[in-house]
Amino acid sequence: MVTFEKKYSNTMNTITAAITAVGAYVPDFVLSNKVLETMVDTNDEWITSRTGIKERRILKDDDKGTSFLAIKAAQDLLSKTNVDPLDIDLIIMATATPDMPVASTGVYVATSIGATNAFAYDLQAACSSFLYGMSTAAAYIQSGRYKKVLVIGADKMSSIVDYTDRSTCIIFGDGAGAVLFEPNYEGLGLQDEYLRSDGIGRDFLKIDAGGSLNPTSLETVKENRHNIVQDGKTVFKYAVTNMADASELILKRNNLTNEDVDWLVPHQANKRIIDATANRMNLEESKVLMNIEKYGNTTSATLPLVLNDFEHLFKKGDTIILAAFGGGFTWGSIYLKWAYDKQ
């Protein structure tokens, strides 16, 4: 059994960055495996057995982008707290699907929620974007310069998915989640991180056109090069190894055992990847949090959606390990101590 003293072992005078609130939003439209059976050559049993996904949410409005999802998630968070949007210092917008290539989505979101005193920017690291955003937010808080940093993970993956490609359309969904980081003096919050990247992944999970290397042209549009493509087997192999390695390393580095871990919050890309990570950590199934069956892979939104869905289970002082793997390749793990009991 983990003792109170062990959970609160940090020096009490040290500033740590703790999550103090969460929020989320998913669109109403449900794209089930049964519906996908009518669109591409696939079936529910095949999708479920290989990915763990039963359905995903899709933002059907053509005139709404990722910012709409992000604003809704941020507003959900604010509705649960007494935080004035004017007191937010910074908004980090983790996304792989910004509204526009140039105008920052995060800046628009900040203004839209009334956080007009905050500066904001976008952070793109594919499915690891939110994990990287947490690290960045914690550094700002621990520096003492800022008191309230909002990290939003949001993606409208349906905007970059080819729904005739059965290898990708079964995986991705739309959604958003948000967390608020604030200073903590009890030793709670972010304790350690192990973040990595490797450019070898550039060719295995990507959108080929629309950037400076292959600008948009009549040819790129005709050749359907503006949707996400992946080499599934290669991505799976790297994801299983690296996400599991990172999670195991963060435990060893902090002298934690499987008994010390209360919850694993893994990126929701594939249930087999999640199972491999949990097995490497020797965790009981009850400690592994998953909502992949409901949402699929929402990329930057997966981690905060899990935190929001299972917030009611978390107790002050709980040890949480977060892990992710994304295109690029990007991956890592964060060791966090939960800072509050849900009221």
pLDDT in tens, 195-216: 999 999 999 999 999 999 999 9
Residue 250 CA to residue 308 CA, distance in Å, equals 23
Active site residues: 127, 267, 297
**181 contacts 149 by C-beta, under 8 angstroms:** yes
Residue extents of the structural domains in the chain: 16-188, 190-338
Residue 172 CA to residue 194 CA, distance in Å, equals 26
Q: Could you give phi then psi for residue 212, rounded to 5 degrees? A: -70, -25
Handedness of CA 60, 64, 69, 72 (dihedral sign): negative
The DSSP result for 23-85, as a single string, is EEE--SEEEEHHHHHTTSS--HHHHHHHH---EEEE---TT--HHHHHHHHHHHHHHTS---G
Distance of CA 226 to the CA centre of its chain: 23
Handedness of CA 118, 121, 126, 129 (dihedral sign): negative
Residue 229 CA to residue 161 CA, distance in Å, equals 8
**154 contacts 69 by C-beta, under 8 angstroms:** yes
Q: Token pair 């192990």 is at which residue? A: 194
Residue 313 CA to residue 1 CA, distance in Å, equals 17
Q: pLDDT truncated to tens, each residue of the chain (343 aa)?
A: 444 444 444 445 689 999 999 999 999 999 999 999 999 999 999 999 999 999 999 999 989 999 999 999 999 999 999 899 999 999 999 999 999 999 999 999 999 999 999 999 999 999 999 999 999 999 999 999 999 999 999 999 999 999 999 999 999 999 999 999 999 999 999 999 999 999 999 999 999 999 999 999 999 999 999 999 999 999 999 999 999 999 999 999 999 999 999 999 999 999 999 999 999 999 999 999 999 999 999 999 999 999 999 999 999 999 999 999 999 999 999 999 999 998 7
3-state secondary structure (DSSP) of residue 235: helix
Residue 229 CA to residue 224 CA, distance in Å, equals 10
Distance of CA 305 to the CA centre of its chain: 7
3-state secondary structure (DSSP) of residue 184: strand
CA atoms within 13 A on the CB side of 65: 15
pLDDT in tens, 248-274: 999 999 999 999 999 999 999 999 999
Residue 233 CA to residue 283 CA, distance in Å, equals 25
